[in-house]
Amino acid sequence: MAKSPPTAKDNNTRRFVFNAWLLMLARDRFALFAAIFLLVLVGVALVGSFALEDVATKQNLRGRNAPPFDFNKDWIFWLGGDALGRPLLARIFLASRNTLMIAASAVSFSLIIGCFLGLIAGYTSKFFSHLILRVADVIMSFPSLLLAVIILYMLPPSVINIVVVLAITRIPIYLRTARAEVLEIRERMFIQAATVMGASNKRIIFRHILPIIIPTMVTIATLDFAFVMLAESSLSFLGIGIQPPEITWGLMVAQGRPYLTTAWWLSFWPGLAIILTTLSLNLLSNWLRVVLDPQQRWRMEIGDQKNG
């Protein structure tokens, strides 16, 4: 979270910047809750999912579709059991690992590749720029469902496939944003100065332009994380995403669908987990947008409770 400027080498400055960020986070209560929720979630995905893996996969046919809120049982059964009597809470913890990992890898891949292509498209010749943009157009009009099915049939089922599908479909977003930003930044005076001083294209792109566009890209990535999570859930829900025995929240909703009228909780809880996570990401992204925008940051720095 601490995004100290590159000049802040010395420890005190770093701590100061970090504290300033914490303070700005505390000013926006919604964003604070969102950040805490996401931190807990990451903890659950990293630790809880491994600790509960055995419990979450152990079948208990006597407890099939056990109703939720039965507080006589172990806490793990408080959200009920699924169609094979496995505790839902543990299943949700276990699924959080795949759900978050897939979204995180897809977002990082598309962020890095999209950013790189966008920088090239924005800074090099017109020919490359047009070529890259046309490719982006084609990707954007290519139905992601079809891509998912093609990859599903061509490669053995694995988590990587779905990451590839999602990453490819999201690249154009970063590419276009990065290019638009570069087009504006490259006309500024300090770029001219760098050119005059004999800086190479590589140096200008990565040392002068990249640091300026990173805040925008990070804000978009936070928002996109939520989008990618929803897309993965939709694909898994349709049966062309994650394949059992791997598990994600979207797949859990799909697996609960046949029992909808008799055991609503099978689909309800994982869906709620999706909503809470995407909501937190959206709130955090809104906060980031304000904080990273020098013209709006004062709203957070002075003690005004109104957000946005």
Partner 1 sequence: MTNFLIKRAVTSALSLFILVVLVFFLIRLTGDPASLFLPLDASEEAKEKFRDLNGLNDPILHQFFQYFSDLIRLDFGISLRRAEPAIDSVLRGFKWTLQLAAITMSLVASLAIIIGSIAAFRVGGFFDRIVTFFSLIGASAPDFWIAIVAIVVFSVGLGWLPTSGTGTVFHWVLPISVLFIRPFGLILQVVRGSMLNVLSAGYIKTARAKGVKDTAIVFVHGLRNAMLPVITVIGDQAAGILNGAVIVETIFGFPGVGKLMIDSILQRDFAVVLASIIITAVAIFVMNILIDIIYAILDPRIRY
Binding site for partner 1 (CB under 8 A): 134, 137-138, 141-146, 149-150, 153-154, 226, 230, 233-234, 237-238, 250, 253-254, 257, 260-261, 264, 267-268, 271, 274-275, 278-279, 281-283, 286, 306, 308
Q: Which of 71, 153 has the CB closer to partner 1?
A: 153
| Min separation Cβ 281 and partner 1, Å | 8
Shortest Å distance, C-beta 57 to partner 1:
24
Least Å distance between CB 208 and partner 1? Answer: 28
Task: Give the residue with the Cβ less far from partner 1, 105 or 277.
Answer: 277
Tell the smallest beta-carbon distance from residue 181 to partner 1 (Å).
16
CB closer to partner 1, 118 vs 250: 250
- The pair phi, psi for residue 65, each rounded to 5°, is 45, 40
| Closer Cβ to partner 1, 170 or 208, answer by number | 170
Distance from C-alpha of 185 to C-alpha of 255, rounded to nearest angstrom: 49
Find the shortest distance in angstroms from Cβ 276 to partner 1: 8
Q: Which residue number, 2 or 260, has a Cβ lying nearer to partner 1? A: 260
Q: Which residue from 163, 181, 161, 160 is spatially nearest to 171, judged by alpha carbons? A: 163
What is the rounded distance in angstroms from the CA atom of residue 96 to the CA atom of residue 127? 43
H or E element: which one contains 304? Answer: none
Q: Is the Cβ–Cβ distance between 228 and 274 less than 8 Å? A: no
Q: Who's near 228: CB < 8 A, 6+ residues apart? A: 102, 103, 106, 107, 166, 170
- Report the 10 Å Cβ neighbour count for 244: 11
